[in-house]
A and B are shown apart, each in its own frame.
Chain A
Amino acid sequence: MARLQGALDRITRVRGVRGAMLVGGDDGLVIAESLMAGVRGNAVAALSASLVKKLRRAAVAAGAGLPKFLHLQGERGTLLAVPAPHGIVVVVIADADVNVGLARLEMMRAAENLI
């Protein structure tokens, strides 16, 4: 667990990241989190899990295969998600101008730690 928490903490060191979490992909519940004050962890977890599920169905229908990385860009913020092994999803909530590439790398590392 300390290793996972360390991986989440590394993600939150990326400038603009407001929080990183491990979320149960099926139930949308929080498994572990590293959040700035004011970030509603439960809401982020539930909504991101639901979005990943819906996107997965669309991607499979399109023949694209299972999603490996998701990036929802809003005017004022960004949601990133990486489906990881064991049905877990690594989720990041960040500012709109976050360095997505850097956050993605750290999220992929965190996902590898779950193997």
Chain B
Amino acid sequence: MGDEIAALSAEVARDPQSLAFLRLGEVLRAQGQLEAAARVVVGGLGHHPYLPDAHDLYARILVDQGEFERAEEEWGMVLAIDPRHAGAHKGLGFLAYKRGDLDAALDHLELALAADPTDQRVVNALRRVRKEFERLLQAQGSVAVPPAAPPSDLFAGLEGAGSGILLADAQGRVLAGAMRREDGIDVAEEVAAHLAGVSQEAARTAQLLDLGQWRFLLAEAEHQNLYLGEPVEDTLLLLARDRSVPAGRLAVVAQRAAVVATRWLEAQR
């Protein structure tokens, strides 16, 4: 580690424009040398004022130093440059949670997950915050159904309900239904976050290749067949069934699920 710091410091000294300051700042922060890390990053920002990752790193250093308000400003700058920056949404979600603003924490964590669906720490944080949010609403005697607590039995009666029919919005947030792996693990949030990217890509592909509006995406995978559709604008419906259910049958069930989803969505509006 000491060698790496020396090498990176030499590189930054030799070429102040070098992006090596990012790695140097990370290493110093990891070692707890927060003041040195801050100096390095502030120096780098002087040469790269519009580099989102540099502002993100500086914000994390500020959090380590207990400078929460300044960290929030830095992450705000990151989002002004890159509105989908996962690190900034994660950081702002953390700060919102810390000050007890669960609503804002949920918003930021959901956006962080949509930007990087593979971040397991965000998945876990989101789960924790949603549970607290639900508890808070119950304690307040609220009868409103929070958007984060959708009816998991919306598709009751349909094949695969309870484990393989999921309704999500275009930002990758779960609206209703459930998605579980064969081992029972709940993957609804993670899958919903991925779906946002898949549907955007499907829409882009259909548009650029002059295929017209995309109607559905069907995939045969190793263990399951998947059907993704858009029952209502900006809403995604995913069905997953094991390979014994033929793709054609899956499409029929999907049409029924789409009718149920459409009715439910209309009732919510």
Residue of A58, A67, A68, A75 near B212 (CB, 8 A) is: A75
Interface residues on B, range: 35 or more
Residue of B211, B217, B226 near A75 (CB, 8 A) is: B211
- The prevalent SS among residues of B at the interface is mixed
Given contacts A62-B187, A63-B181, contact A70 B217 (CB under 8 A): yes
- The prevalent SS among residues of A at the interface is mixed
User: Across the interface, do B215 and A59 meet the contact criterion of CB distance under 8 Å?
Assistant: no
**A102 interfacial by beta-carbon distance below 8 Å:** no
User: Across the interface, do B240 and A62 meet the contact criterion of CB distance under 8 Å?
Assistant: yes
Given contacts A58-B191, A71-B218, A75-B212, contact A64 B117 (CB under 8 A): no
Residue of B118, B183, B225 near A57 (CB, 8 A) is: B118
**A115 interfacial by beta-carbon distance below 8 Å:** no
User: Across the interface, do A66 and B222 meet the contact criterion of CB distance under 8 Å?
Assistant: yes
Given contacts A47-B205, A57-B117, A62-B191, contact A75 B223 (CB under 8 A): no
CB distance from B199 to the nearest CB of A (A): 9
Determine the chain B residues whose CB is within 8 A of the CB of A71 once the complex forms.
Answer: 217-219, 247
**A5 interfacial by beta-carbon distance below 8 Å:** no
**B216 interfacial by beta-carbon distance below 8 Å:** yes
Determine the chain B residues whose CB is within 8 A of the CB of A44 once the complex forms.
Answer: 209
Contact with B along A51-73 (1 / 0, CB 8 A): 10011011101111111111111
User: Across the interface, do A73 and B209 meet the contact criterion of CB distance under 8 Å?
Assistant: no
**B213 interfacial by beta-carbon distance below 8 Å:** yes
User: Across the interface, do B208 and A43 meet the contact criterion of CB distance under 8 Å?
Assistant: yes
CB distance from A48 to the nearest CB of B (A): 7
User: Across the interface, do B217 and A72 meet the contact criterion of CB distance under 8 Å?
Assistant: yes
Q: How far, in angstroms, from A32 to B119 measured CA to CA in the complex?
A: 36
Determine the chain B residues whose CB is within 8 A of the CB of A72 once the complex forms.
Answer: 202, 205-206, 211, 214, 216-217
User: Across the interface, do B224 and A64 meet the contact criterion of CB distance under 8 Å?
Assistant: yes
**A74 interfacial by beta-carbon distance below 8 Å:** yes
Please give the residue numbers on chain B whose beta carbons come within 8 Å of chain A beta carbons, in ascending order: 117-118, 179-183, 185, 187, 190-191, 194-195, 197-198, 201-202, 204-206, 208-226, 238, 240, 247
Interface pairs A-B: 6 shortest CB-CB? A65-B222, A74-B211, A75-B212, A63-B181, A76-B212, A77-B211
